[in-house]
Amino acid sequence: MTTTQAWKIRPAGAADASTLAALGADMFRLTYGHATPAEEIDAHIATHYGTAIQEREIRRPGTTVLIVEAEKPIGYAIVVSGTAPPNFAGPPGLEIARFYIDRPWQGTGVAKTLMEECLQLAAKRSHSIVWLLVWEHNPRALAFYEKFGFVVAGETPFPVGQEIQRDWIMIRRLDH
Ligand SMILES: CC(C)(COP(=O)(O)OP(=O)(O)OC[C@H]1O[C@@H](n2cnc3c(N)ncnc32)[C@H](O)[C@@H]1OP(=O)(O)O)[C@@H](O)C(=O)NCCC(=O)NCCS
């Protein structure tokens, strides 16, 4: 667990599912809403965010959910061990399946600490890569991941409702 003056990071449990569902839906709308039709966003949220859905995610084998809390939850990351990027020939690694920091906390260093925790988890589990998908029209996230040594290794389609968008596959190699 990481503790600082104003916020802390802890593993989430099933009791956090509704909180993660609400925060996740809000962050998804924020991230994609500027260039995706509202009905496609709504369709995606209906199938990907909800208490039961997040509870299944939290309980999924190999999954760790790290929640960041100030006076209220302000972000979270989902990491999944033993998965490989699409069309990747090497051994599986650690996927960062979701990484959200709420608006007031962006640019404050919270995301940096959360990312460092994800990378430490990958090292602890002896993974040789950490990978993630990021929408091509999300320059802030791209810049953030590049700061941590992730590089674009390919692309993959990402459905949002009926719309097919393009995600970059980013990989960060780990030296043990
Ligand atoms: C992506 C996210 C986790 C990054 O955390 P953050 O605290 O905002 O990141 P930082 O401020 O440390 O780094 C972002 C970098 O992008 C830069 N940046 C901001 N807007 C940018 C833009 N439009 N184009 C290019 N770079 C941009 C910032 O200057 C900063 O770089 P710097 O530290 O060299 O100045 C956070 O913004 C977030 O949760 N966003 C909404 C959800 C999201 O997009 N999640 C990722 C889904 S894959």
Tens digit of pLDDT per residue, the chain (176 long)? 554 559 999 999 999 999 999 999 999 999 998 889 999 999 999 999 999 999 999 999 999 999 999 999 999 999 999 999 999 998 999 999 999 999 999 999 999 999 999 999 999 999 999 999 999 999 999 999 999 999 999 999 999 999 999 999 999 999 86
87 CA to centre of own chain? 20
Q: How far is the CA of 65 from the centre of ligand 1 (A)?
A: 21
Question: Per-residue b/e over 58-80, b at no fewer than 16 CB within 10 Å?
Answer: beeeebbbbbbbbeebbbbbbbb
Structure tokens of 56? 């299944």
* Ligand 1 site-directed mutation target among 23, 144, 169, 172, most atoms within 8 Å of CB: 144
Question: What local confidence, expressed as pLDDT, does residue 175 receive?
Answer: 82
Domain ranges in the chain? 2-173
Question: What local confidence, expressed as pLDDT, does residue 152 receive?
Answer: 98
If we measure between CA atoms, which residue out of 93, 21, 100, 109 comes closest to residue 66?
100
Q: Is 111 in the pocket of ligand 1 (CB under 6 A)?
A: yes
pTM, two decimals, is: 0.95
Structure tokens of 50? 């909800």
Q: Is 101 in the pocket of ligand 1 (CB under 6 A)?
A: yes
Question: What local confidence, expressed as pLDDT, does residue 176 receive?
Answer: 66
Residue pair 80/7 in contact (Cβ under 8 Å)? The answer is: no
Question: What local confidence, expressed as pLDDT, does residue 69 receive?
Answer: 96
Tell which CATH classification among 3.40.630.30, 3.40.50.10470, 3.30.450.20, 3.40.50.720 matches the domain 2-173: 3.40.630.30
Question: What local confidence, expressed as pLDDT, does residue 110 receive?
Answer: 97
Question: What local confidence, expressed as pLDDT, does residue 59 receive?
Answer: 96
23 CA to centre of own chain? 12
Question: What local confidence, expressed as pLDDT, does residue 114 receive?
Answer: 98
Q: Is 141 in the pocket of ligand 1 (CB under 6 A)?
A: yes
